[in-house]
Amino acid sequence: MFYSRLQVVCNPEYCEILMAEIAESGFDTFMENDTGFEAYAEMEKFDKDRLQEVKSRYQLQTPLEFFHDRVPKQNWNEQWEKSYEPIIVEDKCLIRASFHQIERKYPWEIIITPKMSFGTGHHQTTYLMVKAQMNLDHKGKRVMDAGCGTAILSIMASKLGASQVEAFDIDEWSMVNGKENAEVNHCANIRLQQGTIHEVQIEGKFDIVLANINKNVLLAEIREYQKFLNVGGHLLISGFYEHDIDDLKNECAQYNLAEISSDSRETWASVLFRKN
């Protein structure tokens, strides 16, 4: 059996956003490399027009090349595991795979089964989100994780004392991987659903909303997030660059979301807002 392979040559800081965009065209397996990443889909089972639209849009922002070929089916996950390294966030939180043997103990530890869903901790935005979470009171709080990927932020919220976590993602593979990660971390208070914020079944208000998505999705959905946020609640977002902060602040200001703090890492940014 053969698979379609898309080799993407791009700047490293665009890898995660491009993988998220390309996933929506039908590719479901990704491996990063020194020049960008590779994406795989069953032969011809991807939306060529949508893929071309992604390429055209991002070529306006960064040098970008796509190369197509076909390869025999193989165990890409096994290959990816060989290069998966543990991450330590601010010397407080260890993010590792089950096969990593780490003797040193950290205040927090998250086990992520590396199956190529988004959010392994390696990207700067995931790092920024986990870092910010450790400085935010989660005890007894109700938390929403929008675009949860591996559910790493949901797991962090649960470990920090959240009473309930509602997580969702449009990607079916993220649901499988997220549930597995929640189980291996013994986080029984996380509920995962597949779909957009308009499609999933969520009721009531939340004390914290987490969203590590790209800028365009955030700008389109902040209006929805704030509807679910309690007065005095917090919205923590990332997935965008430092130069995008003002655009997101302006959008949040329309809904009485005031900036509390911001952070950056290698040009990527995160911002914490409070609903007044």
Task: Please check whether residue 125 is in contact with residue 268, taking contact to mean a CB–CB distance below 8 angstroms.
Answer: yes
What is the identity of the amino acid at 245?
A: I
Question: Nearest 10 degrees: CA dihedral of 180, 183, 187, 190?
Answer: 50
How far is 259 from 272, CA to CA, in rounded Å? 6
Low-confidence residues in the chain, pLDDT < 70: 1, 73-84, 114-122
Q: What's the CATH number for 2-79?
A: 3.30.70
pLDDT in the model for residue 115: 58
Task: Please check whether residue 152 is in contact with residue 178, taking contact to mean a CB–CB distance below 8 angstroms.
Answer: no
Q: What's the CATH number for 119-275?
A: 3.40.50.150
Q: Which residues on adjacent β-strands are paired with residue 219?
A: none
pTM (two decimals): 0.76
pLDDT in the model for residue 133: 98
Residue intervals of the chain classified under CATH 3.30.70 are 2-79
How far is 45 from 105, CA to CA, in rounded Å? 45
pLDDT in the model for residue 117: 46
How far is 170 from 149, CA to CA, in rounded Å? 9
pLDDT in the model for residue 214: 84
Residue 231 is encoded by which pair of tokens?
């007065």
Residue intervals of the chain classified under CATH 3.40.50.150 are 119-275
H helix intervals, 65-135: 76-82, 124-133
Radius of gyration of the chain (CA): 18
Report pLDDT digits (tens) over 138-190: 999 999 999 998 899 999 999 999 999 999 998 887 888 899 999 999 999 99
Strands 142-146 and 229-241, by their bridges, are: unpaired
pLDDT in the model for residue 10: 94
pLDDT in the model for residue 174: 82
Strands 2-10 and 36-42, by their bridges, are: antiparallel
